[in-house]
Amino acid sequence: MASVATVGEAVARVAYTASDVVLSVQPALGQDSEFSPALHTLASTQSPGVIAKEPEVLAIRHNVDPLLSAFGPLRSGKAVSVATSSSILLSSIPHLYKLAQYPIVIHVALHPYGFPDYSEITSIRQCGFIFLHSETLREGQDIALTAHSLALKSGKGVIHFFDPANSNHDNPIPVEERALIREILGGNASRELQAASANESYLYVDEGRQARISNDGLTSQDRSQGPLSASTEVPLVENTQTGEGEQSSIGSSARQSSADSRPTISSATSIDSTTSRPINSEDIYKIAAGIWSQLRSATGRSYHAFEYSGPEDADAALFVFGSTGVFVDAILAAQPSDEFAKCGIITARLYRPWLGVTLSESIPQSIRRIAVLEQIRKKTVKWGPVLMDILTSLRTGPSSTSAPLIVGHQLGHIEPATARQALRGIFQNLKSPSPIQNLEVGSNQKPRALLNDYSLEQPKVESAYMKILDQVFGNRLYIANRLDAANTGISAAISSSPEFGFGSLLARMEHRKRFINEVQEAAASCDFVTDAPRAWLLKWALSAEDPQKVNNLASEVISRLQTDGSKLASQLLASHKLFFQESQWLIGSDAWSYDLGNSGVHHVIASGANVNMLIIDSQPWSERAAADAARRKKDIGLYAMNFGNAYVASVAVYSSYTQVLEAMIEADQFDGPSVVVAYLPYNKEDDSALTVLQETKKAVDLGYWPLYRWNPTNEDRGEANFSLDSERIKQELEEFLKRDNHLTQLMNRHPTFSANLANSYGTEVRSLQKRRAKDAYDKMLESLYGAPLTILFASDNGNAESLAKRLGNRGKARGLKTMVMAMDDYPVEDLSGEDNVVMITSTAGQGEFPQNGRSFWEVIKANAEIDLSSIRYTVFALGDSHYWPRKEDKIYYNKPGKDLDARIAFLGGKRLIDIGLGDDQDPDNYQTGYNEWEPKLWQALNVDKVEGVPEEPPPITNEDIKIESNFLRGTIAEGLEDTSTGAIAASDQQLTKFHGTYMQDDRDLRDERKAQGLEPAYAFMIRCRLNGGVATPSQWLQMDAISSSFGNETMKMTTRQTFQFHGVIKSKLKSAMRGINKALMTTIAACGDVNRNVMCSTLPTKSAYHRDVHQVSCKISDHLLPATTAYHEIWIKDDNDKQTQVAGNALVDSEPLYGPTYLPRKFKITIAIPPHNDTDVYAHDIGLIAIKGSDGRLEGFNVLAGGGMGVTHNMKKTYPRTGSMFGYMSADKVHLVCEKIMLVQRDNGDRKNRKHARLKYTIDDMGVEVFKGKVEDLLGFKFEDPKPFEFISNIDTFGWQKDELGMNHHTFFIENGRIEDTADFPMKTGLREIAKVHKGEFRLTGNQHLCLSGVHDDDLENIKAMMKEYKLDNVHFSGLRLSSSACVAFPTCGLAMAESERYLPELITKLESCLEENGLRQDSIVMRMTGCPNGCARPWLAEVAFVGKAYGTYNMYLGGGYHGQRLNKLYRSSIQEEEILDIMKNLLKKYSLEREEGERFGDWTIRAGYVKPTLEGKTFHDDVAEVESDEE
């Protein structure tokens, strides 16, 4: 049988089982409490409860007013419990008085751990709660259950408190018995609570709610909306002592606590009725006694309000209000001669209400002396509260004359070894003629061995803002409440609070004023050794209030004082930091957002002091307060702006790093209070940067967290006070700006404004959109005749949508009234009113619904009340039977369609025909199954024999779009002018690729924007054309500016040696394109079915040779450039801001090389310079291997043709291919060779099937020699035999290198090519500053890195210093990381199936400890990752590659050639991180042990038998290590 070993676990399990909602209060979301591990384990395994089928566990940080979260579920009639440490109790007092009248249970673990302070219990003893105390592990379980039953049956709040360290050595006990819990709670507990739901809306005002009890002994609640239904009847029994033979729970302890002889606060005010009255202390005692009677009957364990343990004839006893374990053990081990051998121990199980009568009844008459031990360290009165309770109970009334002597003691920490000595001292004092009251027993200092209590530490993710502050202000930065600050006599918890920090800042300001006076006096003094300090001090004193001047002078002043060496100089240097005008900051959290009037925000702003506040809000958008509107989290920024005297900024480092810098600098410059509210959403303090980034993007994009800056002094300069730095703004802030009244109070805001406003509004918009779309369809169909047919689709890649629309058109042609809609656009409530319904869905991820069908499916799946018995339906599903090859994963094949078919049938729907299954493995893909399914549908609808059905026009293909585009014009210009949408037409999306831009949308935001009723977050990716990857410093600066002004503030260096910008919205697209052209660069033919950017090795060691080769790359690129003038007409303007028409008024453009339809597919050319294959020369349509002549200059090229990387998962007709050797060609003719190869491809490539249209398939279909012959025919001469060459690697060489001319070159490691600024690494800023002084070139590499080329020796030290300043000089990474690369993937790539760029660095980090262990840290292993199989990062040539298959799921490939010369092969299919790490760690360990001298990882995996070598592209899918399961 399962057991529990700690009291925290035992209590947590009971709380979970006996609650609907459990609030798990933790010191930090990434740091567990005593309760949280058990709670989260139960929640994650979806364990059922007794009250709720699946209780909800909410993790809440201790400093965000956690008890606020209890009101919402309590008022909705849910059983709520809280599991917390005692640290929240005092700050929660305002809530406790109100919560006491609700049936809530608060389980409190007393802290500090091992040395708890019970004063936090006595301080709140009058708040109206019932207090129960447990000591042992077994008691903890039983009293926790008692607490829940008592709360339900009394209607009052119960606090159950215990010392978690007291039961550390108890033996494990069995887990709770569900049947016992059900019996003790009563069978109808949950229903009674739901009947008691209330509509109160105030948090801090007492609404008069009281727990009541009926005259027949049943409890009820007096509520504003009516009385609570009666709760379970409880037998009201009298107190009974443990009978002889009964098992007592006290056993090895009498470990309990105490409570008030007066009636509880709940009886203070009430309106009596003939049927009920306020519940009083006696009622509570009787209910508790009844619960304990049930427990005794069921388990034999007995509990009482006060419990006595010890001899019945004892004359002395200890009343312990604290941790009793150490005393119990010492008394049990006492010798007969010990003074305390026959003493008893009294504890209070029911501390409040305190019933003095039961106390006197519990104590044997023989007791003449009682030592009261109170473990209370925060003494506010002379006499302890428990001592006063006992005196009131035993020394007043009729029995006072015979009452025992009562002596109070203060209990400190007692080690087990000194327990006997402590007891001896207690009893000596107790029995002395004049005992000392309040004698201290034990130490009042917590021993070092117990200093493991919750420690304050800055959450890891929050370091981003701290690092930015440090970068911006350096030595000037002063954080008043920093965690590591030294404050003598002040605890870290207090000194790190913003309130304490504000006080210390005010004191520091006063100190500086005094310091200025001291400096002024010193400047007039003659006590310096030299005269130099006086002059500098005088200058400084005159400028003391001017931050810029004083900071410039400070270093000189300090230097002069250090040189002087006089006593006066030493005195001034003792406060040398005050010579600087500090940038003074307080760091706070969103905990301040819950009670702004009492928070540090109010104090700072109201003071008008020149103090900067950085307030970090960590609440994720996805878990915002919409589910808990009663918490009423306020908007700190709006609150501060209402004052009108503060600088306010709302920032998010993971959205706009630049804006954060601007806000912090402006806050520092503002003379007055500044509030910078910084967004950093996380669920746990160790969340990855990717998680934080995704949450930030959602919040900023949807207006939940607008980025803005507000400076009330701007209007004095004629500037706007408010500057919006994000696209959207939430409604409250917009209303404030419209109102523009600084003095409006926050309370005048609409009370329901909160983060949940946007959600509810968006939901309503979405619902309205669905309704209008459906009504419009219905209206249109009214005029038609024939049977209705509703066609609903769910589609990710467009196939299901195309089928649905085509089916709709065919239905209309047969006389049916067809309506075609996406499932999520259809109002589900109308489904039962349809006649005939067809549902077509593709399959996403691991058997998931496509994005535009998920909401529809969730409603259908969750609602069993929908009656679909009147509809006829059928389903067609699209999938791939081999996509998930393992047997256990076969369920994913067409899972959405199968699930939908089964669910509709379950809800009563009648099948028109059986489900149709489209399989991409069939000869015609999904069309094979569809062509069998559709005729059956027409037959079922009796329209299969309709005559005169018109012929369907063929579907529009890319070839049609190109030929109708008028040489790539289309309607692009018109689409750019359309401001009603952020998108452009589908046909134009194909054409803009030729212009160097793709339309994308942010996939991180798709679901949220859809929920808000918004179109996707459309934006454009722009790719430059950069011949050979070489840019000038001025071009670099222009690219940097474009990324900041028009993009997402980052630049991407691609695997094809060019710049790429993301996040450019449509309205900024033209401006960005023009900016690129101003830098003498272009984007034409950077994408599309044309020859794209021509690549060239960087070769930093041979500059003259590189120049020769680079010139050839430029010549090829220019020679193959499209001739259309459409690019200039659409994007470029002349000096008069008019569109430039290069072709004048010519009506027809021309393309002498490409023709009107251009190429069948994209065409790529690269040049590699041996011995480094750093451009992957084998992977491209044309690969040119440079051959050096005897003079060391370029002679010619070996020509490869037919390389290509694109693949489709599980479609064996698609495969990667390495280029075939055609032969050698001289340098002066190679541009013609490239042209002729391209022309043969233009005329012979497959234009019907784009998956088969690349040059690699044309060459394989024709044969290498046939294709080569056609090229030679066009050339008029033949290829020569290839020249010898050798490659030794395909990675970059990092660090500094010198070329033959004495110039210096440095290759930076730019992980996955992303140029951006972060708090840890200001890379973008550093490269910008270097570009301002650099006189050479920037060379982009094919591995996404950057070579700073052509640095003269005279400039070398300056460049090195700048690199060090911006951390750009670090190339000391693991060989695996240096050899890695990844494509962009999520969130912008529409083809991505999994993460890549954002995930690969994390994966490598998790492998680096294994590399260290096996001595492989410096070994280069080429690892690549892509989000889909299209191969942008050329994964098929890597030694180990991971190719995305679904979110978080990858195919793993091994065996690629280290030189990029050999394709890899599938090793494992559809694996996730845990399996990836296991496999890689095993492989790396074996490789380190088994490899031969110089053997590369890819070669070893083949020799060791993990995979077989791939000798050519056509055998890529053969002999894979993991065979498809249906072939096993």
Q: Measured between alpha carbons, how far is residue 570 from residues 509, 553, 574, 580 in Å?
A: 22, 18, 6, 17
1389 is catalytic: yes
Distance of CA 1094 to the CA centre of its chain: 39
Amino acid at 14: V
Return d(Cα 424, Cα 343) in angstroms, integer.
12
Q: Which of 343, 1024, 1347, 1428 is catalytic?
A: 1428
DSSP, res 699? H
- Dihedral (Cα; 747, 749, 752, 753), 10-degree rounding: -120
CB 215 within 8 A of CB 179: no
CB 10 within 8 A of CB 144: yes
Amino acid at 867: D
Return d(Cα 196, Cα 101) in angstroms, integer.
12
CA-nearest of 1355, 1372, 1365 to 1308 is 1372
Residue with tokens 């999904």: 926
CA-nearest of 1200, 1108, 729, 1149 to 969 is 1149
Q: What share of the chain is helix, strand, coil (3-state, %, to 5)?
A: 40, 20, 40
| Two tokens, residue 784 | 């038609």
**845: alpha, beta or left, given left = phi > 0 and alpha = psi -120 to 50?**
left
| Triad 785, 787, 789: Cα angle to 5° | 115
DSSP 3-state of 1365: helix
1432 is catalytic: yes
Q: Which of 1383, 1462, 1465, 1496 is catalytic?
A: 1383
CA-nearest of 841, 830, 737, 861 to 797 is 841
Q: Which of 534, 631, 1056, 1164 is catalytic?
A: 1164
Return d(Cα 103, Cα 130) in angstroms, integer.
10
Q: Which of 1389, 1424, 1434, 1468 is catalytic?
A: 1389
Axis crossing angle, helix 1264-1275 with helix 1255-1262, rounded to the nearest 10 = 100
Q: Which of 1010, 1023, 1217, 1434 is catalytic?
A: 1023
Residue 1194, C-beta contacts closer than 8 angstroms, at least 6 positions apart: 1105, 1108, 1109, 1112, 1186, 1187, 1188, 1227
Return d(Cα 1215, Cα 1430) in angstroms, integer.
10
Q: Which of 343, 1024, 1347, 1432 is catalytic?
A: 1432
Side-chain-side CA neighbours of 1171 within 13 Å: the count stands at 6
Return d(Cα 1113, Cα 540) in angstroms, integer.
61
127 is catalytic: no
* Residues β-bridged to residue 374: 321, 410
1023 is catalytic: yes
| Triad 1360, 1365, 1371: Cα angle to 5° | 65
CB 1046 within 8 A of CB 1064: yes
DSSP, res 455? P
526 is catalytic: no
DSSP string, 1312-1349: GGEE-B-SS-BHHHHHHHHHHH--SEEEE-TTS-EEEE
Q: Which of 349, 1161, 1162, 1496 is catalytic?
A: 1162
812 is catalytic: no
Per-residue three-class SS string for 1114-1169: HHHHHHCCCCCCHHHHHHCECCCCCECCCCCCCCCCCCCCCCCCCCCCCECEEEEE
Amino acid at 1269: G
539 is catalytic: no
DSSP string, 158-218: EEEEE-TTTTTTSPPEEPPPHHHHHHHH-TTHHHHHHHT------SSS----EEEEETTS-
Per-residue three-class SS string for 284-305: HHHHHHHHHHHHHHHHCEECCC
CB 1015 within 8 A of CB 1009: yes
Side-chain-side CA neighbours of 1167 within 13 Å: the count stands at 33
Q: What is the edge-to-edge ordering of all strands in the sheet holding 1465-1471? A: 1380-1382, 1423-1426, 1440-1446, 1449-1454, 1465-1471
Catalytic residues: 1023, 1092, 1162, 1164, 1383, 1389, 1428, 1432
